[in-house]
């Protein structure tokens, strides 16, 4: 509590310092604006004075000409004609000058504020974020290692759509392009495979030796395959037929949460009874992957086409929407048992962090860590590594610290 009180005092000092800086900036803007106004006034005054000087000059010349005409000393006809011509020209120029001046509008000044300043400030709720550190671990990448998981009878490039771990320590991978499940050892050697229907997507652990696999035909219907891993072999045990596509799949407390690109459904793993939790049909891919918080209170959905992360409560009510400049086409999200949330984006992996009641993201790894377009990820709590699936025959193992 003493540390919190001290940090509060530090925050107050920073807030007051920021306000002082903002006041100084506003004072500077005010003085510059007033200075510019006075400069413009001087410029307008100079224009008016220039017209006055022209009038005075013409008036003086006309008075001299009038005086010469009144003298009438020279009766030479030729000189009188020259005088008449000059007089006519000067009167014409004087009339033209008066007409030009008369056609001018009255000079005046007005002030038009930059509306963006007021609009921007009005859009803000606070001077900045109040960040609470210490309760959430911020990870950094220490090392990265590449593992090839292509097997001899793979006809296509491996696309690892999901990774989960079973109780015995092995990893179960879904290879969507080759329509296979692959059992991989903890040193990332393929132990066995199981051919499944087109196209396996996400796979989620449902028990010590059991898992569920999302299978999608990419048209209208999908299914959930229930499998068991025993004696280093993968066995298909049961199938749950669906009336919609099956892209994303996650298990929590005997419930299977299924996404079909625009809708999130929940199914009972025992009976297969399902209902719709959340739907958004405004885009082509608004419900991709779903992650469930360890306590089941929150569902985090990736909206790929909208570049957003959606937070729902367990009943499917939207709680918040996260947008961020670096949040580009979020595809897959994953909760760790400790409650940390990781996210696959276009060419990076991010960590989602709590900032008070809000969320934000921090880029954890990118192209410098062999990441091209990450498809899936799994956090291995036993050694603090992120295992990331790709569409290029490889998985990347990131050692975190």
pLDDT at site 365: 93
> 125 or 38: which carries more pLDDT confidence?
38
Tell me which residue range forms the domain holding 161.
Answer: 141-400
Please state, as a whole number, how many other Cβ atoms lie within 10 Å of the Cβ of residue 302. Answer: 27
pLDDT at site 78: 77
**Residue 302's pLDDT band (cuts 50, 70, 90):** very high
pLDDT at site 132: 64
Q: Is residue 135 part of a domain?
A: no
pLDDT at site 74: 57
Q: How far apart (Å, rounded) are the C-alpha atoms in residues 78 and 344?
A: 100
Q: Are residues 118 and 151 in the same domain?
A: no
**Residue 351's pLDDT band (cuts 50, 70, 90):** very high
The least confident of 50-54, 64-68, 305-309 is 64-68
Q: Is residue 376 part of a domain?
A: yes
pLDDT at site 54: 85
Q: Is residue 280 part of a domain?
A: yes
Average pLDDT over residues 204-224: 90
Model pTM score:
0.68
**Residue 135's pLDDT band (cuts 50, 70, 90):** low
What percent of the chain is modeled with pLDDT above 90? 60
Average pLDDT over residues 195-220: 90
Q: Are residues 73 and 191 in the same domain?
A: no
pLDDT at 154 over 80: yes
- Look at residue 72 and give its three-state secondary structure: coil
> 79 or 215: which carries more pLDDT confidence?
215
Average pLDDT over residues 234-250: 94
The least confident of 104-113, 141-150, 252-261, 363-372 is 104-113
Q: Is residue 131 part of a domain?
A: no
The least confident of 4-18, 111-125, 199-213, 272-286 is 111-125
Q: Are residues 99 and 148 in the same domain?
A: no
Phi, psi of 146 (to 5 degrees): -100, 135
Q: What is the mean pLDDT of the chain?
A: 89
Beta bridge partners of 195: 180
Q: Are residues 161 and 118 in the same domain?
A: no
pLDDT at site 64: 81
What percent of the chain is modeled with pLDDT above 70? 97
The least confident of 134-138, 206-210, 252-256, 332-336 is 134-138
CA dihedral 254, 255, 258, 262 (to 10 degrees): -170
Choosing from 92, 123, 154, the residue where a domain stops is: 123
Find the farthest-apart pair of alpha carbons in the chain and give their distance in angstroms, rounded: 136
CATH code for the domain of 272:
2.120.10.30
> 47 or 261: which carries more pLDDT confidence?
261
Choosing from 67, 88, 123, the residue where a domain stops is: 123
Q: Are residues 101 and 213 in the same domain?
A: no
Structure tokens at 381: 């709590």
**Residue 138's pLDDT band (cuts 50, 70, 90):** confident
Q: Is residue 384 part of a domain?
A: yes
Q: Are residues 162 and 68 in the same domain?
A: no
Q: Is residue 136 part of a domain?
A: no
Q: Are residues 219 and 98 in the same domain?
A: no
Measure Cα distances from 214 to 29, 223, 241, 273, 278 in Å.
60, 6, 11, 16, 19
Tally the domains of the chain. 2
Q: Are residues 347 and 390 in the same domain?
A: yes
Q: Is residue 133 part of a domain?
A: no
pLDDT at site 131: 66
pLDDT at site 237: 95
Q: Are residues 247 and 380 in the same domain?
A: yes
pLDDT at site 3: 82
- Look at residue 7 and give its three-state secondary structure: helix
Q: Are residues 189 and 224 in the same domain?
A: yes
Would you mind telling me the total number of residues written for the chain in this entry? Answer: 401
pLDDT at site 27: 94
Q: Are residues 119 and 166 in the same domain?
A: no
Q: Are residues 247 and 183 in the same domain?
A: yes
pLDDT at 356 over 60: no
CA dihedral 280, 197, 152, 378 (to 10 degrees): 40
């Amino acid at each position: 509590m003493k540390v919190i009180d001290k940090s509060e005092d530090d925050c107050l000092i920073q807030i007051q310092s920021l306000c002082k800086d903002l006041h100084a900036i506003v004072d500077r803007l005010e003085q510059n604006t007033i200075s510019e106004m006075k400069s413009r006034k001087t410029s307008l005054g100079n224009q008016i004075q220039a017209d006055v000087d022209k009038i005075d000059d013409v008036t003086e010349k006309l008075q001299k000409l009038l005086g010469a005409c009144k003298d009438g000393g020279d009766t030479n006809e030729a000189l009188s004609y020259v005088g008449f011509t000059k007089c006519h020209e000067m009167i014409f120029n004087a009339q033209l000058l008066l007409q030009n001046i008369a056609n001018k509008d009255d000079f005046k000044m007005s002030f038009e504020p930059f509306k963006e300043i007021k609009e921007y400030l009005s859009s803000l709720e606070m001077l900045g974020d109040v960040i609470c550190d210490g309760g959430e671990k911020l990870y950094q990448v220490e090392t990265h290692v590449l593992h090839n998981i292509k097997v001899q009878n793979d006809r296509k490039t491996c696309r690892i759509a999901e990774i989960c771990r079973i109780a015995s320590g092995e990893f179960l991978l879904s290879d969507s392009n080759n329509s296979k499940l692959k059992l991989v050892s903890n040193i990332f050697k393929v132990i066995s495979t199981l051919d499944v229907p087109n196209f396996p997507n996400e796979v989620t652990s449902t028990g010590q030796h059991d898992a569920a696999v999302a299978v999608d035909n990419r048209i209208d219907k999908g299914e959930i395959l229930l499998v068991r891993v025993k004696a280093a072999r993968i066995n298909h045990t049961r199938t749950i037929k669906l009336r919609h596509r099956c892209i994303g799949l996650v298990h929590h407390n005997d419930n299977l949460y299924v996404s079909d690109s625009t809708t999130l459904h929940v199914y009972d793993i025992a009976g297969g009874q399902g209902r719709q939790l959340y739907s958004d049909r405004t885009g082509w891919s608004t419900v991709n992957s779903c992650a469930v918080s360890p306590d089941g209170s929150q569902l985090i959905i990736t909206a790929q086409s909208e570049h957003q992360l959606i937070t729902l409560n367990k009943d499917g009510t939207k709680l918040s929407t996260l947008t961020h400049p670096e949040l580009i086409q979020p595809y897959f999200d994953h909760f760790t048992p400790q409650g940390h949330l990781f996210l696959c984006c276009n060419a990076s992996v991010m960590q989602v962090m709590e900032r008070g009641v809000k969320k934000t993201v921090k880029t954890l790894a990118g192209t410098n860590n062999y990441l091209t377009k990450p498809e899936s990820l799994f956090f291995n709590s036993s050694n603090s590594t992120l295992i990331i699936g790709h569409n290029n025959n490889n998985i990347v193992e990131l050692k975190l610290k």
